[in-house]
Amino acid sequence: MALTKITKAELTKRIKHHLNFTLDDVTDNQNKEAYWKATSLAINDIVVEKLQATKARQQSANARSVNYLSLEYLMGRMLSNNLHNLGVYEAAEAAVRDLGHELSDLCEQGADLALGNGGLGRLAACFLDSLATLDYAATGYGIHYQHGLFKQSFKDCRQVEEPDMWREFGNPWEVCRPDAAQTIALYGHVKHETQADGTVKSIWEPKTHCKGVPWDIPIVGYNSATVNVLRLWEGTATEAFDWDHFSDGNYIHALKDNVRAETVSKVLYPKDEHEAGKELRFIQQYFFCACSLKDIIARHERSQGIDWSAFTDSTAIQLNDTHPTIAIVELMRILLDEYDMAWDESWAICQKVFSYTNHTLLPEALEKWSVRLFEKVLPRHLEIVYRINEDFLNNEVNEKWPHDFQMRRKLSLIEEGHERMVRMAHLCVVSAHKVNGVAEIHSKLVKQDLFPEFDALWPEKLTNVTNGITPRRWLKACNPKLSKLLDKHVNEDWAKDLNNLSQLVALADTPKFQKEFMAIKRENKVELAKEIEQLTGVVVSPDAIFDVQIKRLHEYKRQHLNFLHILALYSRLLENPNLVMQPRVFIFGAKAAPGYHLAKEIIFAINKVAEKINSDQRIQGKLKVVFLPNYRISLAEKIIPGADVSEQISTAGKEASGTGNMKLALNGAVTIGTLDGANIEIAEEVGNENIFIFGNTVEEVKAIKAQGYNPYHFYETNAELKKILDWLDSDFFTPGQPYQLSAIKHSLLDGGDPYLVLADFQSYSDAHQALDIAYRDQSRWARMAILNTACMGKFNSDRSIQDYVENIWHLAPCAEK
């Protein structure tokens, strides 16, 4: 029963049941939200049945499973995805229509589950979808944040943040499991006791405890027998929570030193270097890792008793970046202190179980925690880190590089400086049996530049798994019109095996197919134009090129390069209003970390320039700029099907992979991008004639930096660039108030232009000109767009998961017999 069989009549009955009994007599037929909820609850009933069957099957097969530890999951909305994955979308459409509603309307209700910042969190969500689709036993573990990523609006062109209230109207998919709650310890001291045999035992005497209560969200596989679970921990106070120390003398001091239990799952931290080192973030990491490990061990004990060799046979644990690194140390502590296991045996278990994914090369983004904080919050764990480090330096490092103190200092898990820090990535690499980067180039740079010594020590450890995206959410569900066309022309189920899309290659030159494909793109653009008008009030023409840059706002992603090019186009149009060009709409979506000043200035500048350009009659509507507020999964699902151009313009070597690049190309957008991250592999797949590559390569970037980069050179030698940078100091866009946009210019000149925006400007501008020419040849563009869709097979997250399974996790599918 891979595909769920349910009739329209049965579904209608179940939806009505929930309207009447769960939601208590909904009489208002216009109440879309109630109908969304009742439909979701009716579908969830089917899902839960499948979940129970999956659990029984996985248990009786004793299936080896992977536990994905991630501080972030960007699930988006669940209804339409679950309907598609169950194969009941059409039945539900008919049932809901009988009740007087359009299913597509109901699918728009409910908040996004926005428990993540960006790529890393969405990757976790795509991976859960693929694991269930391929019938692998898997559990996702994370935090049940009360508030996900902040909601963004613009006031006077500036970003305003408000708390995300995703559970305000309930979440029909999740269920609380107080029976599976766990209690974890924090703070306190370590006591050392000499044993009868002369050895010294460490005994952690914690100061407080905190309880984690899990919420389970079912993860439905596409056309498969499997429903797995995403288990998210919520912090609550326990009876064991030690309130006494609040009154033992210094009440205020005690409050300051201790985090209240409920606070631990209050809010998702925005990705923000300026927030680094926050105690609550550290506690969040330990809280969810410790709860998850207890849960994993309890599950194992239920099925096999305490048998640690069986444990390594049945358990893989994947660390999504360094954020859950403390899980390694926690498992060591449990084995050593609670099961009295010897060090070597405990260490061998950890090495077998853990593997780690690196998502960044940026030095400032590599996580470090101060020894001081470690000692205060997790004193026993610090002892264990020291011992791991000692063993590593005295054995592996000393054997390879005898008495090389420079090397010891470089590789040590502890960074010596004015404040001693624990290097979490080093801890991961030393402990894990596999470490992977997320695209070919990124993994190569991890080996060559980030961890060359670790690579020399363990040449087999560092590896690559190129990221992927689920074609269910990112094509089948979000682009129904294109999906129908593909169903018609592709023999096999492309949503299961995306490589089947290569059958389109043969059609790329066919005028009839080109027409059909581009007609759908246009219909999607009409829809997107409506959304744009609704969100911004700006009217845009679907005949213009829809040029899209959607991703978190960061200097390395270079939204300001896009911005400078817009200024150049505007300036050319003012000089020559008859300039021949296809009209262009530049569409942005991005949230800036609340403490990232320059990122917020870039948002402000784009909004200010947009105001001026959009109302300038002189340019005859040839240029429009819109910044869509509150970019999130559900907004991405509306933008992507209507995109013509995908902006992937990071400084080469800085974007580990990118996954938006894959989503846009899959939906027939043509990429303009640098040779960075997965862009390189996208170019390999689609061919160089179907992508616009520009800019300095990784090697060239290194050479420029080595020579001593001088951005003023480009300012002084490129007259257009000089003109538009000087514009930013004037009051042209901010009448009566010059210098309001100067922060960008300042960062690019006096600030040294750390991401080589000026060095890549001309090449970027030339690539855009080539793109404009290509677009005006309609048949040429249609061919390019079709080939982009046709060649995205590699970027199915099912392929990524299969790579993890074969090279890292070694799972066997647990499907229905």
Active site residues: 359, 551-552, 557, 659, 663
Distance between CA 531 and CA 352 in Å, rounded?
Answer: 50
Distance between CA 759 and CA 10 in Å, rounded?
Answer: 63
Two tokens, residue 155? 């006031």
Helix (H) or strand (E) run with residue 143 in it: strand 138-143
Compute the least distance from the CB of residue 632 to ligand 26Q, in Å: 14
Signed CA dihedral, 632, 634, 637, 642: sign only: negative
Q: Which of 222, 282 has the CB closer to ligand 26Q?
A: 282
For 249-356, where are the alpha helices, taking DSSP H only?
251-257, 279-304, 308-314, 326-333, 343-353
Q: Which of 151, 521 has the CB closer to ligand 26Q?
A: 151
CA distances from 427 to 45, 331, 360, 801 (A): 43, 14, 16, 25
Compute the least distance from the CB of residue 266 to ligand 26Q, in Å: 14
Burial zone of 47 (CB within 10 Å; 0-12 exposed, 13-18 middle, 19+ buried): buried
Q: Which of 121, 642 has the CB closer to ligand 26Q?
A: 121
Distance between CA 671 and CA 645 in Å, rounded?
Answer: 6
Q: Which of 272, 440 has the CB closer to ligand 26Q?
A: 272
Say how far residue 687 (Cα) sits from the centre of its chain: 27
Q: Which of 292, 467 has the CB closer to ligand 26Q?
A: 467
Check: CB of residue 212 under 8 Å from CB of residue 285.
no
CA angle 22, 24, 27 (to 5 degrees): 125
Find the residue with minimal CB distance to ligand 26Q: 119
The closest of 487, 527, 485, 491 to 510, measured between CA atoms, is 485
Compute the least distance from the CB of residue 768 to ligand 26Q, in Å: 23
Compute the least distance from the CB of residue 58 to ligand 26Q, in Å: 27
Two tokens, residue 245? 């120390």
Check: CB of residue 211 under 8 Å from CB of residue 238.
yes
Q: 181 in helix, strand or coil?
A: coil
Q: Which of 77, 271 has the CB closer to ligand 26Q?
A: 271
Q: Which of 80, 355 has the CB closer to ligand 26Q?
A: 355
For 679-804, where are the alpha helices, taking DSSP H only?
679-686, 698-707, 711-717, 719-727, 742-748, 757-776, 778-790, 797-804
Check: CB of residue 202 under 8 Å from CB of residue 235.
no
Compute the least distance from the CB of residue 640 to ligand 26Q, in Å: 16
Compute the least distance from the CB of residue 657 to ligand 26Q, in Å: 4
Residues 6+ apart with CB under 8 A from 377: 186, 187, 279, 282, 283, 286
Residue 516 DSSP one-character state: H
Check: CB of residue 437 under 8 Å from CB of residue 656.
yes
Compute the least distance from the CB of residue 637 to ligand 26Q, in Å: 18
Q: Which of 206, 673 has the CB closer to ligand 26Q?
A: 673
Q: 645 in helix, strand or coil?
A: strand
Check: CB of residue 551 under 8 Å from CB of residue 557.
yes
Distance between CA 733 and CA 291 in Å, rounded?
Answer: 53
Tell me how far apart the terminal alpha carbons of the chain are, to the nearest angstrom.
Answer: 10
> Interface residues with ligand 26Q (CB under 6 A)?
117-120, 123, 269, 271-272, 275-276, 281, 359-360, 438, 467, 655-659, 677
Q: Which of 73, 513 has the CB closer to ligand 26Q?
A: 73
The closest of 672, 604, 628 to 540, measured between CA atoms, is 628
Q: Which of 135, 655 has the CB closer to ligand 26Q?
A: 655
Q: Which of 415, 720 has the CB closer to ligand 26Q?
A: 415
Check: CB of residue 75 under 8 Å from CB of residue 636.
no
Beta-carbon count within 10 A of 449 CB: 12
